[in-house]
Amino acid sequence: MTKVKFSPSLMTMDLDKFKEQIEFLNDHVDSYHIDIMDGHYVPNITLSPWFIEEVRKISKLPMSAHLMVTDQSFWVNQLIDMKCEWICMHVELLDAMAFRLIDSIHEAGLKAGVVLNPETPIEVIFPYIELVDKITIMTIDPGFAGQRFIESTLQKIVELRKLREEKGYNYVIEMDGSSNRKSFKRIDEAGPDIYIVGRSGLFGLDSSIKKSWEIMKKDYNDMTGKVIE
Instruction: Output Rg (C-alpha) for the chain, integer angstroms.
Output: 17
Q: What global pTM score does this model have? A: 0.94
Q: Is 24 annotated as a binding residue?
A: no
Q: Active site residue: 35, 188, 193, 219, which one?
A: 35
Q: Is 35 annotated as a binding residue?
A: yes
pLDDT in tens, 153-163: 999 999 999 99
Residue 37's pLDDT is: 87
Mean pLDDT, the chain, integer: 93
pLDDT in tens, 116-132: 999 999 999 999 999 99
Q: Active site residue: 176, 188, 193, 219, which one?
A: 176
Residue 1's pLDDT is: 45
Calculate the CA 68 to chain-centre distance: 12
The closest alpha carbon to 202, from 51, 28, 19, belongs to: 28
The closest alpha carbon to 115, from 145, 88, 151, belongs to: 88
Residue 9 pLDDT exceeds 90: yes
- Residue 176 annotated among the catalytic residues of the structure: yes
**Domains of the chain by residue range:** 5-224
Helices (H), the chain: 18-25, 49-56, 72-81, 98-107, 154-167, 184-190, 209-224
CATH H superfamily, domain 5-224: Aldolase class I (3.20.20.70)
The closest alpha carbon to 11, from 211, 200, 219, 218, belongs to: 200
Q: Is 90 annotated as a binding residue?
A: no
Please work out, in degrees rounded to the nearest 5, the angle formed at the alpha carbon of residue 208 by the alpha carbons of 204 and 212.
50
- Residue 103 annotated among the catalytic residues of the structure: no
Residue 43's pLDDT is: 62
pLDDT in tens, 169-184: 999 999 998 899 999 9
pLDDT in tens, 51-86: 999 999 999 999 999 999 989 999 999 999 999 999
Q: Is 40 annotated as a binding residue?
A: no
Residue 173's pLDDT is: 98
